[in-house]
Each structure stands twice: as C-alpha cells, then as structure tokens.
C-alpha cells in the first residue's frame, strides 16, 4: 500500500512542478510560427478610400458623419441614435446580448471599430459596403424606424446640417429623398472609417519579432505568448481569425443556433445572401460611386456560396475583451464561455473539409488563450475593463 501512495505523491508533485514551470515559460517560436504571427499585422493598416463612396476620406463628410452618428433626430421617435447601441465607451458596442433600439432586435450589436477593413457587413454579410450598412438601421423598424422622407426633411430643414452637407458633397441637399438618404449613409460611413482601434501589446510584440528585437519581444507576457502559440497552432483559431484584423471575412457555422423574433431559426448567411442581392444599395446598384463595379465581384458570386445556412461572419478580434456578451446572438456572456464552447462547437461542419475540426482545450490552454486575447485591446480599451485571465477556470 505504501509504495503506490509514494508513487502517487511523487507523480503529483512533478505534475505541480511542471505546471508551475509552464506558467513562467515563454515559448521559443520557430521561423514558421513567426511567419504566421507576422501575418496578423502590421497595425494600423494603411488608409484605403472606398471607391463606392465618393466622400470616403473627405474631412467635411467625416465631420457631418460624426454629427449624424450622435443625432437622435435621425430616428422615427427622435429618441434613438447610432451611439445608443454603438456606445463609444464600450468599444462601440452596448454590453447587451441583443441590441435594443425602439424595440429589441434579433442580434448582438457588434463594435463598429475597424469596420473599414470588413469585406461584408453585419453578422450575415447582408451588405457589401459600409454606407448601405449605415442606412440599414435608419430604416429598420425595431432600430431607428425612420424613412428616406424623414431623413431628407431633416437634412434640408436644418441649416447647420444643410451647410455641412454642402461642404461635404459640394452641392446643396438634392431634391430626391432616397439619394439624400444614401448620401447620409455615405457621410456616416466616412466617419466610421476613421474609427480604428489603436496599437496593442500584441502589435508591439509582432513588430519586435519582425525586427528580431528579442529584448523588446521579451516584454510581452509569457502567458500571452503561449496563448498566441495555441492560437496560430494547435487551437487552429487563425484558420478563420486570420490577418491583421483577425478575420477571414468568410462565413462559418459556429454551433450557436438562435431564433429570430418570429420564432424561426436565424439562418445567418443564407438569408443574408437573399437580402444582399435584393438590396437597392449593394455595389451592383445605381448608388455605388465605383464606375468600374470592381468591388461588386464577390456580390455577383454570392448566390453560389455553399454551406450558407446557419453560418455567420468570422468577427475580428481586436478589442474583443471589451465587447462581451459574444457571438451573433450574444448568448455567451464572457470570453471564458466562448473558449469553453466555441472551439469545440460545430465549426467542424462535416460537409466542409476546409474548416478545421473541433478542438478540445485544457483549462490551462483556455487561460493562456484568454491572456492572449486580452492583449488585442489598445490602451484606451484596457483602461475600460481590465480582462482578468485568472478568472477563466
């Protein structure tokens, strides 16, 4: 009896010892791993004007867009503004499971920070450009319940807004209500394009690796380094959360099924494609300022997308420690919950071999990943919350 107990005690003590050692050690990254890490930068990404929006990057349009983003007068009741849901002090989301405008809506409010880097907009990609996505909440019954006529009357009737419009677009507000509504969307989009998140501890580490500056790299916490190694390696996260904004701009099934107000299943991208193709404001339509229609290529091909049912757009992960609750329906309250449920979820859609299979993470790996995810927030962001990796058990 004594012998096995001794063995047990010995086994336990070495296990404890090696966990402790692991908690302090930073991994030595291989050249291949370093290549994968560098692919998540540089940051910030260079400004790139949106060819479908003639006031993209235009300073007076940005000023007008900022005014409009904070104006409740755009809404049907005069009580809801963009910032009611995209609250600047919550990384431009709202801390709720699902957004609440004039009435509650079906999905979680995503941050609008870094939205200029998206290829599709909304969890289902129902819009292919930022100005159409900015028009959407104005017309949505449960969000701002406005109309082209109401928005146009406000723009024409308010001397300040008319003047700002004239400065931005080089002409007084047009007589056509819908054209004016779309221009309001374009001014809002020009403003949103300026909302980049700042540099993060991860970006400093990444650039230090790029320079071969090991002293600077050593300042990045070892636990975050281990989380990063899992993220780009065994966790397979970077297969979908790819590139500088940690999104592949594609749609995947996450295993989170939700229902719409009507009681029907939220089919995500499937219904999103129908809405995209039916929209008067997509890049194929008359309101795009891109004469070449180059940006419309993916839209033309959208009807051929397979496995769209129940798929949602991979969200970017910058500032993610600040935007809980998570997922398209806000059903996971914390990042900890996400790490418990999401990697083991149905992201391994059997019919789609391109998608990585489910991954089982240990508690230690979840803690490491959380420490890494927390380093994707900028200095403003980390002052706002202070995500605590130790809380993930």
Contacts with ligand HEC, residue ranges (CB under 6 A): 80, 82, 84-86, 99-101, 105, 107, 109-110, 112, 115, 118, 121-124, 130, 133-134, 137-138, 143-144, 188, 192, 235-237, 239-241, 252, 254, 256, 312, 314-315, 317, 320, 323, 326-328, 335, 338, 342-343, 347, 355-356, 359, 369
Helix locations, 140-193, DSSP H: 148-157, 159-169, 177-192
Least distance between ligand HEC and beta carbon 158 (Å): 16
And the tokens for 353?
């071999």
* C-beta closer to ligand HEC: residue 7 or 261: 261
Alpha carbon distances (Å) from 173 to 158, 162, 170: 11, 6, 9
* C-alpha radius of gyration, the chain, whole number: 23
Alpha carbon distances (Å) from 245 to 35, 72, 168, 231, 378: 16, 31, 29, 14, 13
* C-beta closer to ligand HEC: residue 238 or 296: 238
- ∠ Cα 330 136 296 (to 5°): 105
* C-beta closer to ligand HEC: residue 60 or 315: 315
Least distance between ligand HEC and beta carbon 313 (Å): 6
Least distance between ligand HEC and beta carbon 379 (Å): 20
Alpha carbon distances (Å) from 339 to 22, 227, 252, 366, 369: 20, 12, 17, 6, 8
* C-beta closer to ligand HEC: residue 134 or 288: 134
If DSSP codes are grouped into helix, strand and coil, which group holds residue 287? coil
Least distance between ligand HEC and beta carbon 178 (Å): 16
Least distance between ligand HEC and beta carbon 123 (Å): 4
In this structure, the strands spanning 251-253 and 311-313 are antiparallel
Least distance between ligand HEC and beta carbon 22 (Å): 18
* C-beta closer to ligand HEC: residue 213 or 346: 346
């Amino acid at each position: 009896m004594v012998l096995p107990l001794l063995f047990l005690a010995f086994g336990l003590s070495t296990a404890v010892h090696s966990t402790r050692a692991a908690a302090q050690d930073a991994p030595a990254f291989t050249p291949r791993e370093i290549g994968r890490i560098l692919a998540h930068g540089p940051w910030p990404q260079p400004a790139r004007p949106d060819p479908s929006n003639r006031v993209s990057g235009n300073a007076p349009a940005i000023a007008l867009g900022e005014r409009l983003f904070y104006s409740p007068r755009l809404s049907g009741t005069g009580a809801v503004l963009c910032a009611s849901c995209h609250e600047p002090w919550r990384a431009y989301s709202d801390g709720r499971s699902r957004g609440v405008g004039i009435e509650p809506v079906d999905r979680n409010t995503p941050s609008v920070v870094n939205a200029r880097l998206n290829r599709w907009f909304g969890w289902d990609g129902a819009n292919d450009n930022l100005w159409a996505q900015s028009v959407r909440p104005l017309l949505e019954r449960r969000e701002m319940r406005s109309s082209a006529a109401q928005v146009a009357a406000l723009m024409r009737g308010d001397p300040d807004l008319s003047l700002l419009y004239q400065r931005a677009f080089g002409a007084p507000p047009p007589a056509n209500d819908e054209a004016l509504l779309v221009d309001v969307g374009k001014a809002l989009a020009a403003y949103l394009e300026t909302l980049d998140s700042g540099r993060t501890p991860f970006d400093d580490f990444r650039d230090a690796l790029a320079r071969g500056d090991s002293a600077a790299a050593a300042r990045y916490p070892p636990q975050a380094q281990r989380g990063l190694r899992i993220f780009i390696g065994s966790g397979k996260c970077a297969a979908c959360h790819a590139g500088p904004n940690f999104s592949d701009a594609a749609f995947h099934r996450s295993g989170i099924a939700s229902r719409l107000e009507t009681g029907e299943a939220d089919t995500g991208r499937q219904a999103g494609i129908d809405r995209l193709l039916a929209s008067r404001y997509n890049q194929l339509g008359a309101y795009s300022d891109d004469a070449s229609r180059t940006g419309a290529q993916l839209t033309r091909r959208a009807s051929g997308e397979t496995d769209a049912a129940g798929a949602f757009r991979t969200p970017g992960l910058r500032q993610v420690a600040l935007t809980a609750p998570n997922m398209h329906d806000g059903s996971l309250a914390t990042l900890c919950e996400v790490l418990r449920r999401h990697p083991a979820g149905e992201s391994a859609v059997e019919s789609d071999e391109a998608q990585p299979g489910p991954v089982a993470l240990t508690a230690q790996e979840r803690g490491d990943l959380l420490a890494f995810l927390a380093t994707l927030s900028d200095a403003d962001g980390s002052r706002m919350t202070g995500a605590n990796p130790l809380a993930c058990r």
